[in-house]
Amino acid sequence: MTGRVTLALAVVAVALFAAASCFAAPKLETGAAAPGFSGTGVDDKEHSLEDYKKAKAVVLVFTCNHCPVAIAYQDRLIQLQEDYESKGVQVVALCVNDRDGDRLPDMKKRAEEKGFNFPYIYDETQESAREYGATCTPHVFLLCAKRKIAYQGAIDDNNNPDNVEKHYLRDAIDAVLAGKEVPETVTKQRGCSIKWSK
């Protein structure tokens, strides 16, 4: 077995372990009021939930730079914002990780490289993740127009976009915009565990 294959298998094993270890039951119930958040964006401006009060729905996703699962979803988040912006939906990405490569300077680089079309915000206090009960990157929370939790968990059912069969988040957004009941309000989040400050 070559060194490259061994390394690839090790990366996959670490990602699978992280995904398995970061699942936890929801802290907030469906229909609960969404906590606020604040932090500094890659635009060097201070952001809060109040900034998006005109949005019909807010997709709040806890993510980061380093996690292979989070990276796998970056293009999908860009596409999501593009597809739903005209419908009044706002994607907001939050990073809370206390880890080299995930703090604001590196977030700025990633946002520019990928052309993020949504706010990317650093909450160094990590308070937002604690309030929402976020455990993984990515871990998504859909907030309805009344800013109540309408959905939480995974974005979809497969890290590989070509193999996705269930579009949990998109189905939830469509239901919220149509004033209908969300088909699945909670799914298992997966990804790398949030890197908490010691």
Tell me the backbone φ, ψ of residue 114, rounded to 5 degrees.
-90, -15
Each residue's pLDDT tens digit, 142-195:
999 999 999 999 999 999 999 999 999 999 999 999 999 999 999 999 999 999
pLDDT at site 198? 75
| Average pLDDT in the chain | 91
The answer to whether the pTM exceeds 0.85 is yes
Q: What is the CATH number of domain 3-193?
A: 3.40.30.10
- How far is the CA of 166 from the CAs of 29, 52, 125, 156, 157, in angstroms? 22, 28, 34, 6, 6
- In whole angstroms, give the CA distance from residue 98 to residue 63: 12
For the chain, the domains span 3-193
Helical (H) or strand (E) element with 93: strand 89-95
